[in-house]
Structure 1
């Protein structure tokens, strides 16, 4: 794939602590069985997955001007990610996400992601290279609404495949869904968008009517896909979760959306793209931390 895929989202330092047993009571200490420090945040996770699937990811995100930012950007370059559009915010510490993971996928996040490490509309306006010639633009809707909407508009103007990850807030929902080609939402986000669970056929159909041509909605037992066919009909597919024992769901959705995008761009039929997306997610949730390992999957 010669054209880059732009990812608009979060970059952060991930600190994953695997605990033995429950959290310690107040005023006491507990044992950490395993510790990982790595490049993370939803934007970086998606960009890593894209690179492992053979794409050329370009990341639009914010890092501080600290040593942590230096280290994360160095790791991103090693991973094959173009970080030329990452903003270095002066006087700001790079974002931090701490995951406390217990057995059986029982996790808690502690996040230090202040406004200064979120993207602004001005950051999007300055990122000309990130949109010119992009094959697709992945927009994470956890970013401020002004930045997300600006990114979707620029992607549409550039003729890129516009992929939305999450539930847009009400103020921009109608416009940004109309700009989208692909929408991915987890179970909670699906309820926010439609008031229905992801396995309800009406949920996906309702979203298709608002603009996208492919919708992927998660629910507890799997994923439901709906897309516009070559004629007036809408087609649907429900895929169960894979057989992989879930260790940590962190990053599963990021791997899913990266794989779905790569497959659609190379012209795979939606059912094949859907199966690759589910396989990528399954390959990620079977190990600790959100960092994917998708080499050889595509």
Structure 2
């Protein structure tokens, strides 16, 4: 069965500067190389899900500029429906500047642009779409109020809502109330709850925190330690695949998109879906760039069969 997914999210054009090491405050260093590629957390997650066989629709905004045209075409190349990708006449397309060091670690500076030009009028006409999809995914590179309105609408149509609270910031209570699955990484989880996820006991305590705020399902990505999950079906840690990372950009986005492409709506297969998602993410970090590094279903299956 093919999962039908809508992503409400961010679109950025990524420019990556390749350096031997990160500069110190006030220091000027030379970049060894420079590259540009389509990206943004929302776009990356949509492409990851589409490349793993899901049927995708995208809800978002770009500027009336060449970058917006470039990003629209990039999504369409992966078979993603862009009917609800609107143009913002006031702001340029979102952009990110990424500094990547020789160890594959990065830091990122984002210009939100049209991503934060969204308001609830963007959702006009999306009811027909939400009647047909299984999952709606969103992140924090777009306004929370729009996400809350979209999730509320999605819940009215029986859609499973997935929130990736990145970059971490306080979550609106009304958004948590209509979120089915929350997926932070370990640092985001600590920012959101004040609980350091340094043990399974702490992770279970974090799961209780989110349950108390209305979210029944928690996944915490733990980098090289794997991923912790807590759902009504049980809890546990699925280990990561050991690989040599050369660029961690879009690793988390690949994980979320690939995971959602495999999940059943009742999350009964969460452990198996997590293994698939972990494998997909492990391939992404062995390649350069955001969207260009995201693997296809056949690549993930081949790696799982190795």
Same fold, judged at TM 0.5 (above): yes
Q: How many equivalent residue pairs?
A: 291
The question of whether the paired residues in 2 share the 8 Å contact of 1:85 and 1:130 is answered with no
Q: Cα deviation per residue 1:222-266 (whole Å; 9 max; x = unaligned)? A: 32111103xxxxx21112322011222221111111122122137
The question of whether the paired residues in 2 share the 8 Å contact of 1:283 and 1:294 is answered with no
Residues in 2 aligned to 1:118 and 1:246: alpha-carbon distance in whole angstroms: 35
- Partner in structure 1 of residue 211 of structure 2: 208
Distance 1:66 1:54, change over 3 A: same
Classify the secondary structure of the residue corresponding to 2:271.
helix
Q: Does 1:222 align with 2:233?
A: no
Distance 1:91 1:141, change over 3 A: closer
Q: Cα deviation per residue 1:257-281 (whole Å; 9 max; x = unaligned)? A: 1122122137762211221222222
TM superposition score normalised by structure 2? 0.85
Distance 1:77 1:195, change over 3 A: same
Classify the secondary structure of the residue corresponding to 1:179.
coil
Deviation at 1:37, TM superposition (A): 1.9
- Partner in structure 2 of residue 30 of structure 1: 30
TM superposition score normalised by structure 1? 0.87
- Partner in structure 1 of residue 258 of structure 2: 259
Deviation at 1:9, TM superposition (A): 0.6
Residues in 2 aligned to 1:109 and 1:287: alpha-carbon distance in whole angstroms: 17
Residues 1-298 of structure 1: pairs in structure 2 closer than 5 A: 1=1, 4-23=4-23, 30-33=30-33, 35-114=34-113, 117-166=116-165, 170=170, 172-173=172-173, 175-198=174-197, 199=199, 200=202, 201-219=204-222, 221-229=225-233, 235-265=234-264, 269-291=269-291, 292-296=294-298, 297=300
Structure 2 residue ranges without an equivalent (≥5)? 302-306
Structure 1 residue ranges without an equivalent (≥5)? 230-234
RMSD: 2.5
Deviation at 1:213, TM superposition (A): 3.4
Classify the secondary structure of the residue corresponding to 1:265.
coil
Residues in 1 aligned to 2:98 and 2:148: alpha-carbon distance in whole angstroms: 29
Distance 1:169 1:153, change over 3 A: farther
